[in-house]
Amino acid sequence: MGIYINPGNESFRVMRNGKYVDKSGLIGAINHSIELPNKLSCISRPRRFGKSYAAQMLCAYYCVGCNSAPLFDDLEIAKHETYKEHLNQYNVLALDIADIIGKSSLDDMLSFITQRVSEEIYKIYPEVEHTEALADLLNNAVEASGRKFIAIIDEWDAPMRDKKTSDDIQYKYLQFLRSLFKSITITNKVFAAAYMTGILPIKKDGSQSAISEFWEYTILEPGPFAMHVGFTEDEVQNLCNEFHVDLNKMKFWYDGYKIKDVGSVYNPNSVMRAIQLNKFQSYWPATSDPTSLLEYLNLDKKGLGKTLVELMGGKEVPLNPRQFRNDPSSLNSEDDVLTLLTHYGYLSYDEERETVRIPNEEIRIEYADSIHYVTHIETIKRVKRSVQLMQDTADMRADAVAAELQKVHTEEYNPRHYNNEQSLRGTIKLAYFAYKDEYLQLEELAGGTGYADIVYLPKRNSDYPALVIELKALDKSHPLNDAEGAIAQIKKRNYPDILKNYTEEILLVGISYDKDDPDKKHTCVIESWQG
């Protein structure tokens, strides 16, 4: 067994020793592509979505020279009609490109791969005829062994995401992949199938798109691999039941990636960390690599500053991902930036609505940590306004609060949607979007005899009071829907009752505006709750 050729099943064996969520259905999807025109699969997902774990599983399943049946007989794939046909029947070419760059360098990675793979082939198959070209050597290994290869390439796009990668290095790297997977003669003789994975889809670069023969399955268009990468809702619910974890908290922190025909998909790394450490927090890896959120939020693209505020306020924003060239160094528009952030996992895409939003609390924290360092003038102004609004609310300056909410309501919603319930709630979220430093934002919080629309619960180190906010649209048929009426509803339904165990200081904030008034002037009443 080698490292790059036929690495065996030891890595997967270690995985099985711990808590393992069965994702072996992926093998069945790959098996259905073997020796078919769609046998080259490129699956791109955000980091920590289980791509590398999947690569280790595939190595264990396909690799000749080891017996992996004990590792798979109790998994989903064992029920698949192709299970025994392909189990441990192939040579495996396993390349972790990020690991290889760490062992060599960007400049030397191609010669490093060729040298190490060649050494292992000659050691495993001494009778193989020597040759310098890697594709020819793999072909000679197939002829000597009578077995084709399954290629498993993890982090294929690591060179494309590294700032140190020059255009020349990218070109040579793509040409290297082209030598393996572009030639119909070589590809069909050498490879029965390929699983290539990374964060980014394959770069669109005209004639230089060296690996265009791959069938791509992205977070935007996951195809048959939709439920096999990341944890599904059922899988997370089973984990929560097994380990007695609050499913609602799990959803609040890590849900939010929606995939058509599958539903919710969770980041496996975060879910398992929360269970193992018994703590809900952001496990999104802190990193200084090119996927840094702030780097992209600061790009000077028209409309990006306003869109950032809307996203932070909980709004969905429209996205056209079709012009993106899959190249982080070539971002020509706001849509390009948002599409890249979607591939990185910082946004969740709704295919039917063609919109994106911040998926969950874990990612909202990433935005909150970055927002104070954004250089867009428009964003800076909105941050200052939001912070001032929180201070005005805490100081019970009702007129200032009403004026700011009116301004946000008018700026963000056109007349057609101005009066619906979602726009009212959205106005509050947009106005208080910079709450992260001081508050937790809670929606539909059960309290008393009803549900409070939006509650801001102060963090432990915050000096701010808790806020229970109700916004009403006043019209002739509902004369009590004024600011006083909003306060009365909060009191009548005793919304603040649930908060008294968390904080002693609670403010009730009632906002109202007249739907029939052309200016739609907002009024505000703020009272301290006496429980």
pLDDT at 290: 43
Average pLDDT over residues 122-147: 93
Q: Is the pLDDT of residue 11 over 80?
A: yes
Q: Is the pLDDT of residue 375 over 50?
A: yes
Res. 413 pLDDT band, cuts 50 70 90: confident
| Contact assessment for residue 229 and residue 54, using Cβ atoms and an 8 Å cutoff | yes
What is the C-alpha separation between 433 and 295, in angstroms, rounded?
A: 20
C-alpha to C-alpha distances, 16 to 6, 20, 51, 82, 490, nearest whole angstrom: 19, 6, 16, 22, 52
pLDDT at 144: 93
Res. 298 pLDDT band, cuts 50 70 90: confident
Q: Is the pLDDT of residue 287 over 60?
A: no
| Contact assessment for residue 256 and residue 264, using Cβ atoms and an 8 Å cutoff | yes
- Phi and psi torsions of 528, nearest 5°: -85, 130
Q: Is the pLDDT of residue 108 over 80?
A: yes
Res. 417 pLDDT band, cuts 50 70 90: low
| Contact assessment for residue 456 and residue 466, using Cβ atoms and an 8 Å cutoff | yes
pLDDT tens for residues 161-212? 887 788 889 889 988 998 898 777 789 999 999 999 999 888 765 544 557 7
Q: How many CA atoms lie within 13 A of 40 on its CB side?
A: 18
Residue that is written with structure tokens 């649209």 in the block: 473
| Contact assessment for residue 417 and residue 425, using Cβ atoms and an 8 Å cutoff | no
Q: Is the pLDDT of residue 483 over 90?
A: no
The residue extents of the domains of the chain are: 10-225, 231-277, 293-375, 378-528
What is the C-alpha separation between 254 and 249, in angstroms, rounded?
A: 8
pLDDT at 421: 63
What is the C-alpha separation between 303 and 334, in angstroms, rounded?
A: 7
Q: Is the pLDDT of residue 424 over 80?
A: no
Looking at the chain, the whole-number percentage of residues with pLDDT higher than 90 is: 52
Q: How far apart are the first and last CA of the chain?
A: 70
CA nearest neighbour of 97 among 161, 40, 41: 161
CA nearest neighbour of 314 among 363, 357, 367: 357
Q: Is the pLDDT of residue 444 over 90?
A: no
pLDDT tens for residues 228-286? 989 999 999 999 999 999 999 999 999 989 888 888 999 999 999 999 999 999 988 65
pLDDT at 452: 67
pLDDT at 415: 67
Average pLDDT over residues 154-167: 86
Q: What is the DSSP code string of 193-224?
A: EEEEEESSPPP--GGG-TTTTSEEE-SSS-GG
pLDDT at 183: 73
Return the ∠ at Cα 73 (arms to 69 and 79), rounded to 5°.
125
pLDDT tens for residues 310-349? 898 888 999 999 888 887 878 889 999 999 999 999 999 9
pLDDT at 30: 96
pLDDT at 213: 85
Radius of gyration of the chain (CA): 27
CATH of range 10-225; options 1.10.10, 3.40.50, 1.10.3470, 1.10.8: 3.40.50
Torsion over CA of 242, 248, 254 and 259, rounded to 10 degrees? 90
pLDDT tens for residues 49-70? 888 899 999 999 999 999 999 9
Res. 216 pLDDT band, cuts 50 70 90: very high
Q: Is the pLDDT of residue 93 over 50?
A: yes
Average pLDDT over residues 126-131: 90
Local structure of 341: helix, strand or coil: helix
Q: Is the pLDDT of residue 449 over 60?
A: no
C-alpha to C-alpha distances, 509 to 394, 430, 456, nearest whole angstrom: 10, 16, 11
CATH 2.60.40 for domain 378-528: no
Res. 481 pLDDT band, cuts 50 70 90: low
Looking at every residue in the chain, the average pLDDT score rounds to 88
Local structure of 357: helix, strand or coil: strand
Give the tokens for residue 389.
């609004």
Which has more confidence, 20 or 475?
20
Res. 288 pLDDT band, cuts 50 70 90: very low
Return the ∠ at Cα 519 (arms to 475 and 429), rounded to 5°.
80
